[in-house]
Amino acid sequence: MEISAPRDLKIGKIIDKTLAVIERNAAPALIYVIALTAVSVPVTWFAVGSLDPMRLLGGELLKAALGIACAYFLLVAALRRTGLSSGKGEEAFVPYIGLSILTTLGVLLGTLAFVLPGLFLMARWSIAPPVLLSQGSGVMASLGESWERTKGNEFSIIVAALAMIVLPIAVVIAGGAFFEDGDLVGITVSQLASSAITVITLSMGVALYGLIVGAGQEARAFE
């Protein structure tokens, strides 16, 4: 498939369309937050103070698996509700797992390398999940298409993302500062804020996909 030249995206437009995606998907987003919090909070609380590496690893793997599954269903719902789904990739749960692992590891390693490489990778791979789930492309093809289509817009994407997640990040930090380890309220507050960050980043991916690629009749709303 021929990939068209990248579009010039404005920070304000990215934020505006992301908020529109969140508004249109308020119900699925709420279900996502509730489901993730309902499992993650007791798992985190149970692991507090534990020195058992298997218990800690098991808890983190459970939360990661749940997070990927919930993110998959939220993305599928968001693409449908915004008119951006062709239906070709909606059964691509296993490839989505692979894509999530690759992008998470890449962004994590990039972040550890002085932060900026992680933000750069986050921007260039931001529409890979919507490409995979809308078009049914393979994992590497989705990463490649996202890489090409977001070229030149890294700064706008990074600034828009940081502007939208700065508040929930502050809440996560405050939760760790004002509550003791093992405090159930503190764990819940931090988890809710973390879930909000994920909702924002997933919704921004859908918004960017609509702005850059578009598909279906209702995609005109992203122009």
What is the per-residue pLDDT across 101-152, written as a single tens digit (0 to 9) for each?
A: 999 999 888 877 767 889 999 999 999 999 999 988 899 999 999 999 999 9
- What is the mean pLDDT of the segment spanning 40-60? 78
Task: Confirm whether 4 is domain-assigned.
Answer: no
Task: Confirm whether 60 is domain-assigned.
Answer: yes
- pLDDT of 3 > 50? The answer is yes
The string of DSSP letters for 44-102 reads HHHHTT---HHHHHHHHHHHHHHHHHHHHHHHHHHHHHTT---SSSTT-HHHHHHHHHH
Task: Confirm whether 6 is domain-assigned.
Answer: no
- pLDDT of 218 > 70? The answer is no
Task: Confirm whether 3 is domain-assigned.
Answer: no
Task: Confirm whether 5 is domain-assigned.
Answer: no
- pLDDT of 215 > 70? The answer is no
Q: For residue 6, what pLDDT is reported? A: 59
Q: For residue 217, what pLDDT is reported? A: 44
Domain that holds residue 80: 11-222
What is the per-residue pLDDT across 140-178, written as a single tens digit (0 to 9) for each?
A: 999 999 999 999 999 999 999 999 999 999 999 988 888
Beta strand ranges found along the chain (DSSP E)? none
Residue 221 banded pLDDT, cuts 50, 70, 90: low
Task: Confirm whether 80 is domain-assigned.
Answer: yes
Residue 223 banded pLDDT, cuts 50, 70, 90: low
Task: Confirm whether 1 is domain-assigned.
Answer: no
Residue 45 banded pLDDT, cuts 50, 70, 90: confident
The larger pLDDT score, comparing residue 219 to residue 188, is at 188
The larger pLDDT score, comparing residue 179 to residue 195, is at 195
Task: Confirm whether 126 is domain-assigned.
Answer: yes
Rounded Cα gap, residues 101 and 103, in angstroms: 6
Contact between 107 and 118 under an 8 Å Cβ cutoff? The reply is yes
Domain total of the chain: 1
Look-up of token digits 């119900």: 27
The mean of the pLDDT values for the chain is 87
